[in-house]
Amino acid sequence: MSSPAENTTKVTKEAFKQWRNARRGSKQAQDMTNPFWVYCVQKELNAYQANAAFDGPSSFAYKPCWSYERFGMSETKLEDGRTILIAGEHEDYYDPDFFIYNDVIVKDANGKVQIFGYSEDIFPATDFHSATLVGNRIYIIGSLGYTDRRKEKDTPVYYLDLKDYTIHQVNSGQGPGWVFEHEAIYDSETHSITIDWGKRWIDSGDIIDNFSKWQLKLDTKQWTLVEERPWSQFRFSRKDGESNLLFDVRLDMPPIDASTFEDPDTPMDQETKEKKQKTYSRRCTRRKSKHSSRPIKKPWTNSIDLASPTLFTHKPRRRTNIPVSASQSMG
C-alpha cells in the first residue's frame, strides 16, 4: 500500500506557472482541476507556502497565488465519503494574496480531488456563509463578500447540486438581509432552513449583530420572520473620525486570568483552570506574533481612544465607564 507522500500529485514548473494565480471560472461547474491546485489541497497549503514551494514571483508585484487555506470556507461531509468545500477567503484586503473564492473543492473517500469554478454571474465570491445539506443539494446562504456587492436588504441564497456540481440561485424575496457567520438549521418536518444569530452588513458600511431569526421555506422559496429580538446596539466613534488603538491596547494588556471567567456557583477545578489559562495565553501569543503592535503613548487608563467604529450589544446589567464623543443607536 502506498504512503500519503507517494500519493501526492507531482507538479511541474510549467503547471505551476500556468495555474499559480487565483482565478474565476468562465461557465457553470467548470472543471478546473489541475496538478498545482490539487497539490495545495493535499498539502493544505496557504498562498505564501504554495508560492514559496515553487519559487514563484512576489504577489506584491504580481497577482494573488491560489490558496487552499481560507477563512469562511464551509465543509460538508457526505455519507458516501465525499467532503465538499465551498468558497471562502484567503487573508484580508491588505495582504497581496487576498482573494475571495467562488469555487467548490470535492475530496472523495479515496483521496481524489476535483475543483470546480464558476463565472461570477452564476456564483459570486462568497465567504462566511452557511452550507446546509438537504437531500442532493447543499444550500449556500449568506456571505460577507466584496464591499461593492453587498446590499443591506438582499440575502444571497444558492444551492449546489451534488449530482453535477452546478450552482443555482434561489430568488427568495426579502429576508434577513446581508447576513454572514450565522447559524443555519434544516427542519425536515417543515422542509425549511432557519437562520439565526451571526452578523449583518448595513448600507452605512457598519457590521452589526443579527438578532432576528428567519425561516426559509424551500417549497415556496419565501422567507418568514420567526423572532425579532428588540435588543439595542450602539456605535461609538472618535470625534475627529480617526482610528484608535483598541486592538493595540488589547495586545498590550496583561494576560487574561482564567479565574476571571469562573462561575461562583460552579468553580473550576485546578486542572481545568490551568488548561483555560494556557489556552488564553496561546491566543494572546499568536495574536502578538501575527500583528505588529504600535506603541501606546497613553497609559492604560479609562481615557483610552475608542475604535472606529466599534459596535457592541447593549446589556442592561452591565455598564462600561468609558468616555465617548458620540453614540448612535443602530437597528
pLDDT in tens, 62-95: 999 999 999 999 999 999 999 999 999 999 999 9
Q: Is residue 123 part of a domain?
A: no
Task: Indicate if 57 and 89 belong to the same structural domain.
Answer: yes
Label residue 327 exposed, middle or buried (CB < 10 Å: 0-12, 13-18, 19+): exposed
The pLDDT score that the predictor gives to residue 255 is 62
Percent of the chain predicted with pLDDT > 70:
75
Residues comprising the chain, all counted: 331
Q: How many domains, in total, are found in the chain?
A: 3
Q: Which domain-ending residue is among 90, 118, 146?
A: 118
Q: Which domain-ending residue is among 60, 95, 118?
A: 118
Q: Is residue 73 part of a domain?
A: yes
pLDDT mean across residues, the chain: 82
C-alpha cell at 328: 448612535
Task: Indicate if 1 and 96 belong to the same structural domain.
Answer: yes
Task: Indicate if 113 and 1 belong to the same structural domain.
Answer: yes
Q: Is residue 326 part of a domain?
A: yes
Residue 279's domain spans which residues?
234-330
Q: Burial letters for 193-232: b for 16+ Cβ neighbours within 10 Å, e otherwise?
A: bbbbebbbbeeeeebbbbbbbbbbebeeeebeeeeeeeee
CA distance 174 to 179: 12
The better pLDDT of the pair 19, 326 is held by 19
Give residue-wise pLDDT tens across range 115-148: 999 999 999 999 999 999 999 999 999 999 999 9
Task: Indicate if 186 and 279 belong to the same structural domain.
Answer: no
Section 198-208 average pLDDT: 93
Task: Indicate if 254 and 317 belong to the same structural domain.
Answer: yes
Q: Which domain-ending residue is among 67, 98, 118?
A: 118
What's the pTM? 0.75
Task: Indicate if 225 and 259 belong to the same structural domain.
Answer: no
Task: Indicate if 5 and 114 belong to the same structural domain.
Answer: yes
Task: Indicate if 25 and 100 belong to the same structural domain.
Answer: yes
The pLDDT score that the predictor gives to residue 302 is 33
Task: Indicate if 64 and 87 belong to the same structural domain.
Answer: yes
Task: Indicate if 146 and 223 belong to the same structural domain.
Answer: yes
The pLDDT score that the predictor gives to residue 270 is 74
Task: Indicate if 2 and 90 belong to the same structural domain.
Answer: yes
Task: Indicate if 53 and 166 belong to the same structural domain.
Answer: no
